[in-house]
Chain A
Amino acid sequence: MQREGSALHGLGVVVLKELSDHLNSARMRVLEWLVVLIAVVALYFAIQQVKDTTAEDPFLFLRLFTTSREPVPSFVTMLSLLIPLVAIGLGFDAVNGEHNRRTLSRILAQPIYRDALLFGKFIAGLFTLSISLVGLWILMIGLGLVMIGVPPGAEEMARAFIFLLVAIVYSGVWLALAILFSIIFRSAATAALVTLGLWFFMTFIWPGLSSALFVAISPSTDEETLILGAQYAARVSPMTLFTEAYLALLNPSTRSLGPIYLSQLQGAVVGAPLPLSESVMIAWPQIVGLVATTIILFVIGYVVFQRQEVRA
Chain B
Amino acid sequence: MSENVIEVQGLTKRYGSTTVVKGISFSVARGEIFGLLGPNGAGKTTTILMMLGLCDVSAGQARVLNYDPVRQPLAVKRRVGYLPDAVGFYDNLTAADNLRYTARLMGYELEEREQRIKDSLAHVGLGENADRYVDTFSRGMRQRLGLAEILLKDAQIAILDEPTSGLDPQVTQELLDIIRGLKNKGVTVLLSSHLLDRVQSVCDRVALFQEGNIALIGTVGDLGRQVLGGGYHVEVEAEGQGFVDRLKAVPGVSAVEALGGNRWRLTSDRDVRPEAAAAVVAEKGRLLRLSVEEPSLEAIYTRYFQLSPHHGDRHAA
Chain A interface (Cβ within 8 Å of chain B)? Answer: 1-5, 9-10, 13-14, 16-17, 21, 24-25, 101-103, 105-113, 309-312
Contact = CB atoms under 8 A, between A and B. Distances in A.
B75 A102 contact: no
A4 B75 contact: yes
Contacts of B105: 10, 13-14, 107, 110-112
Contacts of A25: 92
B176 interface: no
B72 A101 contact: no
Interface in B236-252: none
Nearest to B74: A5
Interface of B: 45, 49, 52, 54-55, 70-75, 77-78, 80-92, 101-102, 104-107, 146, 149
A170 to B, nearest CB: 29
A113 B73 contact: yes
B71 A108 contact: no
B101 A105 contact: no
Given A13-B104, A101-B88, A108 B54 contact: yes
B74 A4 contact: yes
B74 A13 contact: no
A109 B71 contact: no
Contacts of B49: 105, 310-311
A93 B83 CA distance: 23
B52 A101 contact: no
Closest 4 A/B residue pairs (Cβ) = A102-B88, A109-B82, A5-B74, A110-B105
Contacts of B71: 1-4
A109 B87 CA distance: 12
A17 B146 contact: no
A310 B54 contact: yes
A13 B109 CA distance: 12
Nearest to A25: B92
Nearest to B82: A109
B77 A109 contact: yes
Nearest to B105: A110
A35 B100 CA distance: 33
Nearest to A101: B88
Nearest to A307: B56
Nearest to A117: B105
Contacts of A24: 92
A105 B55 contact: no
B200 to A, nearest CB: 26
A296 B70 CA distance: 28
Contact of A105 (B82, B104, B107): B82
Contacts of B77: 109-112
B75 A312 contact: no
B255 to A, nearest CB: 44
Nearest to B68: A4
Given A103-B88, A105-B54, A111 B72 contact: no
A24 B86 CA distance: 26
B92 A21 contact: yes
Contacts of A13: 101, 104-105
Contacts of A106: 82-84, 87-89, 146, 149
B155 to A, nearest CB: 10
A35 B85 CA distance: 41
- Among B55, B81, B90, the most chain A Cβ lie within 10 Å of the Cβ of B90
A44 to B, nearest CB: 36
Contacts of A17: 101, 104
B55 A103 contact: no
B52 A109 contact: yes
A116 to B, nearest CB: 9
Contacts of A109: 52, 54, 77, 80-82, 84
Nearest to B149: A106
Contacts of A108: 54
Contact of B73 (A3, A21, A309): A3
A102 B84 contact: yes
B55 A310 contact: yes
A238 to B, nearest CB: 31
A50 B146 CA distance: 61
B233 to A, nearest CB: 39
A120 B80 CA distance: 23
A103 B90 contact: yes
Contacts of B45: 311
A107 B88 CA distance: 10
B159 to A, nearest CB: 8
Contacts of A14: 105
B106 A111 contact: yes
Given A3-B71, A106-B149, A309-B55, A111 B84 contact: no
11 contacts: A3-B72, A5-B75, A25-B92, A101-B89, A101-B91, A102-B87, A103-B88, A105-B49, A105-B54, A105-B82, A109-B80
